[in-house]
Structure 1
Amino acid sequence: MSKLYSLKVLEVKKETKDSTSVAFDVPFELYDTFKYKPGQYLTLQFNLKGQQVRRSYSLCSSPVIEEPLRIGVKRVKGGLMSNHINDNLKVGDIVEVLAPDGRFFADVKKENYKTYYLFAAGSGITPILSILKTVLLTEQHSYVHMIFGNRSQETIMFHEELKQLQEEYKDRFVLVQTLSRPKSNWSDLWKTPSKEFRKGRVDTACIEWFINEYPPYAQNVEYYVCGPGTMIDNTVKALENIDVPFDRIFIESFGGDEAKNTTEAFENANLTAHLNGEKIEIPIIKGKTILRALIDEGKEPPYSCEGGVCSTCLCKVNKGKVHMKNNLALTDKEVEEGYALSCQSIPLTEEIEIVYE
């Protein structure tokens, strides 16, 4: 099991009505442990409603600035931890945290000469903001073209920080904000149209317009996408339409837009799990995932987000079949090879055998 560290909360800042950023104090002796790449996440652990809960939140701070480790947390309807953080967390609180991790990050180097296209929607801005700041500060010859989608002006996270970056790096940073339901009033009828916002969603037409409007400066181009499922699908489709190689597209999904899952689990399946050199044999009560069955048994399987995003809980299914309720981390090839996210896996057969490699 990954090691937990106790960090003190330095600042809790309300970013919008439904989102908060949280800064942590990292002691000097943990500086090396908490080094991270722009785009990676931090995993927090709380005991809430009688159970141990972990969730992963992307870092919106930059590793090249002398600033505290900071995450952005948007309230989610029914979200156990996101609501706890927004409602209850305060300066001075001690939070159990895993070291930074994640496969979504930019390899930023001083000598790079690139064009970065950054696509974000909603709270998907958090890792994108980290990448944005790091590129602008480190790569003096690179350019950044960014589109950021929100519902309305009131829901834009880090709005003032983005405006400051626009002003400071106006020769190398283009930002277009698009709003699906912009706020307006009668006085707006007498004003000229705003150049600050574009109306609409981050959909295929929007992406195609954006790239045509702001073509790349450097031939070395990378595309970073973070947001809910539909936004990602639209963005990738638009990029494929203009023949962008898939290995140039980097994706971090923040869930959302999933269809309601109706797959029924096998009731009281028998689980055999190989974990940390131990062979564990327990039943999986209907309604529980493989991961939760092991945790409730007092075992310590690796896990982080419990949202099917990070792949920390990866295991290989050697016997039986499972169904993943959500999978935002594994490729089709990995699934075909028998790999599964234990935090999302429910049994479809009476006998299940897995190995944590």
Structure 2
Amino acid sequence: MFHPLRVAEIERLTDDAVAVTFRVPPELRETFRHVPGQHIAVRRTVEGKEIRRTYSICTPASDEPTLRVGIRLVEDGAFSTYALKELSAGDTVEVMAPAGRFVLEPRPGRFVGIVGGSGITPVLSIVSTLLARQPDARFCLVRSDRTAASTMFLEEVADLKDRFPDRFQLVSALSREEQQSGLPSGRLDEARLRELLPALLPVGAVDGWYLCGPYGLVQAAERALRGLDVPRNRIHEEIFHVADDVAEPAAIEPATTESAPTGNAASSLGATPALRTPAHSTVTATLDGRAGSWPVRDGESLLETVLRNRADAPYACKGGVCGTCRAFLVSGEIRMDRNYALEAEEVESGYVLACQSHPVTEKVELDFDR
């Protein structure tokens, strides 16, 4: 469900990025209370076409939520262009309640964030909340940006260094510019991270790794961590940008069967040959306590089928990135084109992304309420 929120402030962060703060009225404070690391979906209509985008919340979690998101300009981006060039304080934007599972509830321990570009946004919320609420927590932030001028939230990160000098460690890398101190110029690829991370901290003692940013950086960081024997359940990922090339999809069966997939869902794509879509398939979906069954048209995703009949079906990006359309696969078998949102444990438990799912069996049942 979307709520109209008034824009309280727009702050220019870089030449191509802004921070947008929304005013949350008292009656919606509970609705918009967020867990550190979550995102919101925004909606606008352009020439009769509905556009939805997701943006991560950068502010710390609090009893009186401050809803502030970072938005970086994307080439031909329908909402980011509007946000940077037209949106003004006082305007109203339709906003969905916070969602997402790339989160860290404050607890004692040692944590690390590896981020690229605008991937700093959710991690900024995570680290600022963690250090303020949990005195027995430490956080190391490894960030990669193109240049110093393109770096988002410089002041906020500098403030964390001043407030928590003994518990916050910052390591910065610029891929297109030399800096006076810190790492030499260049990308943070797998080989570089495998050498860098053990020199920074005791890798085996880290309780949680939070990787966020472009697909290439997140995958390189995951491979580096696995090469350093970091358990998969300690690695948490959120992808911000994904290339158009997609691996061959794999079939996924309900978690109640013995053949349910194991391991990282995104890397499991292509693990088995794609199965042929049946000529006639039906999807049964439960949403907000109501169930319905509808035929799946040729080439449709299961989300598209549900949306034709239930306009309130949850979605935002339709690209397998945000996880808003997550549903539980009750019965049947599907193939998922791509998955950059669900953790391996979620896939193993039977969850799928409806926007990327296509039926393999004649009957498929989803539950959006679980």
- Normalising by structure 1, we get a TM-score of 0.82
Match of 1:165 among 160, 164, 175: 160
Q: 2:17 aligns with which of 16, 19, 30?
A: 19
Gap regions ≥5 residues in structure 1: 185-192
| Native 8 Å contact 2:2 2:95 kept in 1 | yes
Partners of 1:133 and 1:157 in 2: CA distance: 15
Residue in 1 aligned with 2:314?
Answer: 302
Hey, what does 1:189 align to over in structure 2? none
User: Which shifted more, 156-165 or 256-265?
Assistant: 256-265
In structure 2, how many angstroms separate the alpha carbons of the residues matched to 1:305 and 1:84? Answer: 17
Match in the other structure for 2:73? 75
User: Over aligned residues, Cα RMSD in angstroms?
Assistant: 3.2
Q: 1:284 aligns with which of 289, 297, 311?
A: 297
Which amino acid is 2:171 matched to? V
| 1:240 and 2:235 matched | no
Mean Cα deviation higher: 257-266 or 234-243 = 257-266
Q: How far off its partner does 1:319 sit?
A: 5.1
CA gap of 1:279–1:217, structure 2 versus 1, over 3 A, is closer
Match of 2:207 among 221, 225, 237: 221
Match of 2:326 in 1: 314
Cα distance change of structure 1 residues 220 and 290 upon mapping to structure 2, 3 Å threshold: closer
Give how far 1:268 is off.
Answer: 9.6
Please give the TM-score of this superposition, normalised by the length of structure 2. 0.79
Contact 2:248 2:337 in 1 (8 A): no
Which of 142, 151, 157 is 2:146 aligned to?
151
Alignment partner of 2:113 out of 106, 111, 118: 118
Which residue pairs with 1:140 in the alignment?
Answer: 135
C-alpha distance 262-224 of structure 1, shift in aligned 2 (>3 A): closer
Alignment of 1:3-18 (within 5 A): 3-18=1-16
8 Å CA contact 1:314–1:356 kept in 2: the answer is no
Displacement of 1:36 after TM fit? 1.4
Selected match of 1:274 from 285, 309, 312? 285
1:245-260, aligned counterparts within 5 Å? 245-259=231-245
Report the CA distance between 1:10 and its aligned residue.
0.6
Q: Give the superposition deviation at 1:292.
A: 3.4
Runs of 5+ consecutive residues of structure 2 not aligned to the other structure? 250-273
- Residue 194 of structure 1 and its aligned partner are, at CA, apart by 0.6
Distance of 2:15 and 2:358 partners within structure 1: 36
Query: Is the CA contact 1:23–1:70 (under 8 Å) kept in the aligned structure 2?
Result: yes
> How many percent of aligned residue pairs carry the same amino acid?
32
Question: How many angstroms apart in 2 are the aligned matches of 1:262 and 1:217?
Answer: 33
Task: Report if the CA contact (8 A) 2:283-2:302 is conserved.
Answer: no
- Preserved CA contact (<8 Å) 1:121 1:202: no
Partner of 2:96: 98
Contact 1:317 1:340 in 2 (8 A): no
How far apart, in 2, do the equivalents of 1:45 and 1:268 lie? Answer: 35
User: How many Å apart are 1:149 and its aligned residue?
Assistant: 0.6
Deviations 1:8-63 (A, max 9, x none): 11111221222221111111222222221111111212223423332221110001
Q: Given the superposition, is the C-alpha separation of residues 29 and 313 from structure 1 closer, same or farther in structure 2, using an over 3 Å criterion?
A: same
- Aligned equivalent of 1:61: 59
